[in-house]
Amino acid sequence: MIPPYLWQEIAQLTGEHFVLVLVSMAIAAGAGLPLGILLTRRASLRTPLLGFANVMQTIPSLALFGFLIPIPFIGGIGKRTAIFALVLYALLPILRNTLAGILGVDRAVRESAIAMGMTGRQLLWEVELPLAAPTILAGIRIATVTTIGTATIAAAIGGGGLGVFIFRGIASVDSTQILAGAIPAALLALLSDGGFSWIERRFSVV
């Protein structure tokens, strides 16, 4: 059976993992949403910005964490580097879904809003964002679930979290340790997915 000290470590590392994901997602959403909105207004920026986010996604995560270590300010060993990498990964789905959600608003609805004398700000807050919300939320949901998985690699560069168990388990060929990291991570992912689906149902207006 599982010894008590392990329970304690599971609780601690799960908390760390959760904070890692939460901070990364807050930054990614905080940057991705305004950037996505900007992309709906400036078509010329779409290719370069989405291209950048796409390229970030294609870099294998372990490699990206490694690349960041020698970079000054954002790099090094520890949580900051891990969060930076996680943000880069989470950015694409949020960016892409914000763009798709807003561009997907019915042309007739948008035209009516403009023709009725809404200002650009009113159009965004009263029409585009509420109608795009399900798509944007879906992007954040995908990004969060992915980030919970990817965040296990943060342990490789001293970022902590449930990855600590997994890397330790691999090194010592101890499947109990691996499972102690993998199971809570999977549960965390399931829980957040369920949470988002609750939010979607709770606030769906259309």
Partner 1 sequence: MDRGLNAQPALEFRGVSYRINGSIILENLSFCIDPGRTLVLLGRSGSGKTTALKMVNGLLFPSSGQVLVESRATSDWDLIQLRRSIGYVIQEVGLFPHFTIGENVGLVPRLNGWTPHRITARVAELLHQVGLDPVRFLNRYPRELSGGQRQRVGVARALAAEPKLLLFDEPFGALDPVTRVELQDQFLELRDRLQITSIFVTHDVREALRLCSEIALLHRGKLEILAKPADFMDCQGPEARAFLSTL
**Residues lying near partner 1 in the complex (CB under 8 A):** 106-109, 111-119, 122, 127, 130-131, 205-206
Compare residues 48 and 121 and give the one whose CB is closer to partner 1.
121
In angstroms, what CA-CA distances link 124 with 95, 113, 118, 182? 16, 10, 9, 41
- The distance of closest approach from Cβ of residue 98 to partner 1 in the complex, given in angstroms and rounded to an integer, is 17
- The distance of closest approach from Cβ of residue 125 to partner 1 in the complex, given in angstroms and rounded to an integer, is 12
Compare residues 37 and 131 and give the one whose CB is closer to partner 1.
131
Compare residues 107 and 201 and give the one whose CB is closer to partner 1.
107
- The distance of closest approach from Cβ of residue 43 to partner 1 in the complex, given in angstroms and rounded to an integer, is 17
CB 6 within 8 A of CB 62: no
3-state secondary structure (DSSP) of residue 1: coil
CB 51 within 8 A of CB 91: no
Compare residues 69 and 100 and give the one whose CB is closer to partner 1.
100
User: What is the spatial distance between Cα 28 and Cα 156, in angstroms, rounded to a whole number?
Assistant: 21
Pick the closest to residue 163 from 97, 49, 65 (CA basis): 65
Compare residues 7 and 203 and give the one whose CB is closer to partner 1.
203
Residues in the chain, total = 206
- The distance of closest approach from Cβ of residue 114 to partner 1 in the complex, given in angstroms and rounded to an integer, is 7
- The distance of closest approach from Cβ of residue 161 to partner 1 in the complex, given in angstroms and rounded to an integer, is 38
Q: What Rg do the C-alpha atoms of the chain give, in angstroms?
A: 20
Residues 6+ apart with CB under 8 A from 58: none
